[in-house]
Every structure is written in structure tokens, then in C-alpha cells.
Amino acid sequence: MRTVRILLAALLSSYLAFGPSVSLAGSPEEDREAFQNFYKERFPNTPFEDFANGIYSIDKERRQEWEQMEEFPQYELDIDAGEALFHKKFANGKGFADCFPDYETGVRQNYPHWDPKRGEVVTMEWAINLCLEENGEKPLKYNRGPLAEISAYLAYLSRGHVIDVKVPKDDPRALAAYEDGKRFYYTRRGQLNFSCASCHVHTSGLKLRSDLLSPALGQVSHFPVYRKKWSAVGTLHRRYGGCNRQVRAASFKPQSRQYRNLEYFHTYMSNGIRLNGPGGRQ
Amino acid sequence: MQRISNRLRRAVAPGLLVFAMGHGVPALASDQAAFEVAYDAGQAARKAAAAVGHEWRDTKKMLSDAKKLAEKSDFEAAIALAERAKRQGELGVIQAEHEEKVWMDAVLK
């Protein structure tokens, strides 16, 4: 009897010591597995790879409309514009191809990534501006316009590559950036008290007025996107800002540390999905 | 006589104007001061919310609109709006503190 009591006490104390923390802080891989399993169970008729198509993976009628739109996609003009901008030489004679030597076979799958030298998450849009600045050129505005067009061109060349974001285990700063993005994703903010997860996890597939809330899984695969609402192609961080403002929270600046870390977590959750950007959306 | 009368009128009129304005000045000045206190408190609350990443979308505009109302001497509305902005800032901080404790409950496991 005494042995049983000792065993029970030991179990209880180990639960109190380790139990809650283990259940709260999953590793990135545990998070990804739980995240993806959630959508597989919530939308059992959607094949895993089809989550790359956002709401069109879960709604037949909207998918038909979208497939018609894709016959003459509006983002084609942006890809062409991006191609021209990408190949325009800088004043020093160099060009984007010097910064992105593998652009022809796709580079978007390499972003976002942890840069140990900078100690920060580098996104593709930031890398485009870093390239300009390192070559003595003026950086471009992040949300729309030329930068989004160059991004669309590079995304187009990267189609078919599998998202494979890594959180290096040998650098605790990388895990801290991932955790920061995760915290942002699940934290409610704004006057309406919504988190990213409120809409795109816990009520994904339901309607908010006439809008269907897309599953978070695969969301990042098709950015930048041409949105009818924008009448232009726009970046992922533009969308983040729009989402924040929709819940009446002040948005952060595009490519701010907050949004880059958010993109790091958000993209990691879609590891295994194929890139299919740029996309066309409402 | 006509010339003297005109001179007198020119001399008295500014005095009368100053006298008339003088009666309104204390009230206007205290309203302005009350607005500035409310506005500064609103800005401080907004900045406190921003510092913890929980500024709300409309707070900055509310304060800017409050300033415009004060410029039009609509102090009652200006102070009310600044106080609403202050409340938004305070709620943003409360939201941040609350979320710090509960955000992980929403994480998929």
C-alpha cells in the first residue's frame, strides 16, 4: 500500500512538473503534424495536396468559378511585368539574377528561412529588397506594385516545388522566431478580439457574412495573389495587414519582425504542400 | 464733428472687441486645457497598447478626429472622443495581458 502511495505521489509530482509544459510547448514538427491532421479530419474529402487551392479545395461552386478565372488569369500581366523588372540591370551592371542565380528552376521554396548571420527570418520579398540595397538601388514598396510583380514572376518559376521550411535545431534563436510567429498566430487582438486561428483554424470552412473562411493549411502556397478586391497582385504581408485591420487591430508594417516570424510559422505549417503561386482570389 | 466721431469710433471699437472676447477667454482656455489632458491620456494609453503589440485599428484616428473637433472649439465632443480612445488603449493592454496567459490554449495539439 505504501509503495502504491509513493508511486502515485511520484506520478502526480511528475505530471505537475512536466505534464502541463509538455502539452503546451510542442516542437515545430509536433505542431505541424497536429495542424495538418486537424484539417485532414475537418475536411476529409479534400486531398492533402489540394489544400494549396485555399477555399477552392473545400467549395465546389466557388471552385468552378475559379477554374474559369484560371483560363485567362489576371495575374499573367503581373508575371510579365515582373519578368521585365527582374531582368532590368542595376546601375552597377548587375541584376537580380546575381542575387537569385537559381531563379529559373525556382527559388521561392527557399523562403522564408532562418539566416544565422542576420539572426532573423528572411522572406523572399525582403531578399528582393536586400538585393536592391546591396547593389546601391532604392528598395521597393512591399505591399504591391513592382516588388509584388517580381515576387509573382519568381513564384511562377517556383511552381511545383514542395514547401519545406526548416527551424535549425542548432540555433535557439530560430526556434524563438518560430515560437514568436506561433504566438502571434494564436493571439487574439483588435477590437473584435480575433486571432488568425479564430478564423482560419477554429472556424475554417464556415462563413463570415458571405465570405468562406479558408483553411490555414496551404494558404501561403499561392502568394503573391491577384485579388479582385485589390485589382492587383499583392504580397502575403499585405494580406496579413488586411486581416489585422478587419478585426480592428492596428496592422504591423510589411516585413516587420512580427510579420516575418508569423510567415515563418505559417509557412512551416504547410510543409509538404506544393507551391502554386501566383494565385487568383476574390 | 463728423471727423471726431469717426476717430472715437475707431478708438473704441477694438476696445469693445477685446472686452467682449475677454469674457469668453477663461472658459475657452479651461476647455482647451481639459481637452489637452484627455488627449495626452488617450495618446499615452494608445502608445502603451502599441508597446505590447495590441493597439486597436481606430484609436489613432479617434485621437486625430478629437484634435480636429477641439480646433473647431467643440470641446465636449473632442474630450468624449479622446476618452474613448484612452479606453481603447487600456483595453488593448488588458487584452495583451489576458492573451499572454491563454493564447496557448488555442494551439492545436
Indicate yes or no: CB of B54 within 8 angstroms of CB of A195: no
Percent of chain A with pLDDT strictly greater than 90: 89
Indicate yes or no: CB of B57 within 8 angstroms of CB of A24: no
Q: With residue A127 as reference, give the H or E element that holds it.
A: helix A124-134
Q: Is the ipTM of this complex over 0.95?
A: no
Backbone phi and psi for residue A25, each to the nearest 5 degrees, phi listed first: -110, 85
Q: Which neighbouring-strand residues pair with A279?
A: A225
Chain B contact for A253 (CB, 8 A cutoff): no
State the pLDDT at residue B7. Answer: 58
DSSP string, A221-267: GG-SEEETTTTEEE-HHHHHHHHHHHTTBPPPPTT-HHHHHHHHHHH
Chain B contact for A38 (CB, 8 A cutoff): yes
- The closest of B53, B55, B51, B52 to B85, measured between CA atoms, is B55
Domain extents in chain B: 29-106
Of B55, B99, B107, the CB nearest to A188: B99
Indicate yes or no: CB of B56 within 8 angstroms of CB of A190: yes
Please tell me the distance from the alpha carbon of residue A204 to that of residue A58, in angstroms, as a whole number: 10
Confidence tier at A271 by pLDDT (50, 70, 90): very high
pLDDT digits (tens, 9 = 90+) for A161-193: 999 999 999 999 999 999 999 999 999 999 999
Indicate yes or no: CB of B54 within 8 angstroms of CB of A182: no
Chain B contact for A187 (CB, 8 A cutoff): yes
Average pLDDT over residues A136-153: 97
Contact A192, A248 (CB under 8 A): yes
State the pLDDT at residue B75. Answer: 98
State the pLDDT at residue B29. Answer: 87
In this model, does residue A78 exceed pLDDT 90? yes
Indicate yes or no: CB of B56 within 8 angstroms of CB of A249: yes
In this model, does residue B74 exceed pLDDT 90? yes
Contact B27, B72 (CB under 8 A): no
State the pLDDT at residue A282. Answer: 83
State the pLDDT at residue B28. Answer: 78
In this model, does residue B8 exceed pLDDT 80? no
What is residue B33's DSSP assignment? H
User: Residue B63 has which C-alpha cell?
Assistant: 485621437
Confidence tier at B5 by pLDDT (50, 70, 90): low
Burial of residue A175 (number of CB atoms within 10 Å: 0-12, 13-18, 19+)? middle
State the pLDDT at residue B6. Answer: 56
Indicate yes or no: CB of B57 within 8 angstroms of CB of A250: yes
Q: Which of A30-34, A166-170, B22-26 has the lowest mean pLDDT?
A: B22-26
Which chain A residue is nearest to residue B105, measuring alpha carbons? A24
Q: Which neighbouring-strand residues pair with A233?
A: A226
State the pLDDT at residue B9. Answer: 54
Average pLDDT over residues A213-239: 97
Chain B contact for A89 (CB, 8 A cutoff): no
Confidence tier at B11 by pLDDT (50, 70, 90): low
Q: Which neighbouring-strand residues pair with A194?
A: A189
In this model, does residue A230 exceed pLDDT 50? yes
Please tell me the distance from the alpha carbon of residue B101 to that of residue B109, in angstroms, as a whole number: 17
Dihedral (Cα; A146, A242, A187, A108), 10-degree rounding: -30
- Our CA-based measurement puts residue B55 at a distance from the nearest CA of chain A, in whole angstroms, of 6
User: Residue B48 has which C-alpha cell?
Assistant: 502603451
Q: With respect to CATH, is domain A26-282 assigned 1.10.760.10?
A: yes
In this model, does residue B107 exceed pLDDT 60? yes
At a CB cut-off of 8 Å and minimum separation 6, what does B94 contact? Answer: none
Confidence tier at A54 by pLDDT (50, 70, 90): very high
State the pLDDT at residue A19. Answer: 40
- The closest of A60, A65, A53, A162 to A106, measured between CA atoms, is A162
- How many A×B Cβ pairs under 8 Å? 60
In this model, does residue A207 exceed pLDDT 90? yes
Side chain identity at A19, as an amino acid letter? G
Domain extents in chain A: 26-282
User: Residue A145 has which C-alpha cell?
Assistant: 506594385
Chain B residues lying within 8 Å of A188, measured CB to CB:
95, 99, 103
First to last CA, chain A: 67
Mean pLDDT, chain B, whole residue set: 86
Per residue in A20-36, is it b (16+ CB within 10 Å) or e — as a string? eeeeeebebeebbeebb
